[in-house]
Protein backbone atom coordinates (compact mmCIF):
# COMPACT_ATOMS: atom_id res chain seq x y z
CA UNK A 1 0.00 0.00 0.00
CA UNK A 2 1.46 3.36 -1.09
CA UNK A 3 0.59 6.21 1.26
CA UNK A 4 1.45 9.87 1.61
CA UNK A 5 1.40 12.12 4.67
CA UNK A 6 -0.28 15.50 4.14
CA UNK A 7 -0.84 17.93 7.02
CA UNK A 8 -0.27 15.16 9.55
CA UNK A 9 -2.80 12.80 8.01
CA UNK A 10 -1.98 9.67 5.99
CA UNK A 11 -3.71 9.07 2.67
CA UNK A 12 -3.70 6.08 0.33
CA UNK A 13 -2.35 7.41 -2.96
CA UNK A 14 -4.48 5.08 -5.10
CA UNK A 15 -7.63 6.63 -3.66
CA UNK A 16 -6.62 10.19 -4.59
CA UNK A 17 -7.65 11.84 -7.85
CA UNK A 18 -5.30 11.52 -10.83
CA UNK A 19 -4.73 15.29 -10.71
CA UNK A 20 -3.65 15.13 -7.06
CA UNK A 21 -1.47 12.11 -7.76
CA UNK A 22 0.23 14.06 -10.55
CA UNK A 23 0.85 17.01 -8.22
CA UNK A 24 2.43 14.66 -5.71
CA UNK A 25 4.73 13.22 -8.39
CA UNK A 26 5.70 16.70 -9.59
CA UNK A 27 6.44 17.82 -6.02
CA UNK A 28 8.59 14.73 -5.46
CA UNK A 29 10.53 15.43 -8.67
CA UNK A 30 11.06 19.06 -7.65
CA UNK A 31 12.36 18.01 -4.24
CA UNK A 32 14.76 15.52 -5.85
CA UNK A 33 15.92 18.23 -8.25
CA UNK A 34 16.60 20.56 -5.33
CA UNK A 35 18.78 17.93 -3.67
CA UNK A 36 20.72 17.37 -6.92
CA UNK A 37 21.23 21.11 -7.38
CA UNK A 38 22.44 21.54 -3.81
CA UNK A 39 24.97 18.75 -4.34
CA UNK A 40 26.17 20.42 -7.54
CA UNK A 41 26.57 23.73 -5.68
CA UNK A 42 28.67 21.98 -3.04
CA UNK A 43 30.88 20.50 -5.77
CA UNK A 44 31.28 23.96 -7.31
CA UNK A 45 32.36 25.40 -3.94
CA UNK A 46 34.98 22.67 -3.47
CA UNK A 47 36.34 23.03 -7.01
CA UNK A 48 36.41 26.82 -6.79
CA UNK A 49 38.44 26.64 -3.56
CA UNK A 50 40.81 24.12 -5.17
CA UNK A 51 41.47 26.30 -8.21
CA UNK A 52 41.78 29.46 -6.12
CA UNK A 53 44.54 27.68 -4.17
CA UNK A 54 46.29 26.57 -7.37
CA UNK A 55 46.07 30.10 -8.82
CA UNK A 56 47.56 31.61 -5.66
CA UNK A 57 50.42 29.07 -5.71
CA UNK A 58 51.28 29.80 -9.35
CA UNK A 59 51.09 33.55 -8.84
CA UNK A 60 53.70 33.23 -6.07
CA UNK A 61 55.97 31.19 -8.39
CA UNK A 62 55.54 33.28 -11.52
CA UNK A 63 55.44 36.75 -9.99
CA UNK A 64 57.86 36.95 -7.06
CA UNK A 65 57.13 39.53 -4.41
CA UNK A 66 59.08 42.76 -4.66
CA UNK A 67 61.98 43.00 -2.25
CA UNK A 68 61.59 45.68 0.37
Q: Residue 66: its pLDDT value, please?
A: 66
Q: Residue 65: its pLDDT value, please?
A: 79
d(C-alpha 29, C-alpha 27), whole Å: 5
d(C-alpha 49, C-alpha 56), whole Å: 11
Q: Note down pLDDT in tens along the chain; length 68 residues.
A: 699 999 999 999 999 999 999 999 999 999 999 999 999 999 999 999 999 999 999 999 999 876 65
Q: How far is CA 6 from the centre of its chain?
A: 24
8 Å CB contact between 4 and 11 = yes
Amino acid sequence: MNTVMIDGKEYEVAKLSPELQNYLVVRQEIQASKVRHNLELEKIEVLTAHYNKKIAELIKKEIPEEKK
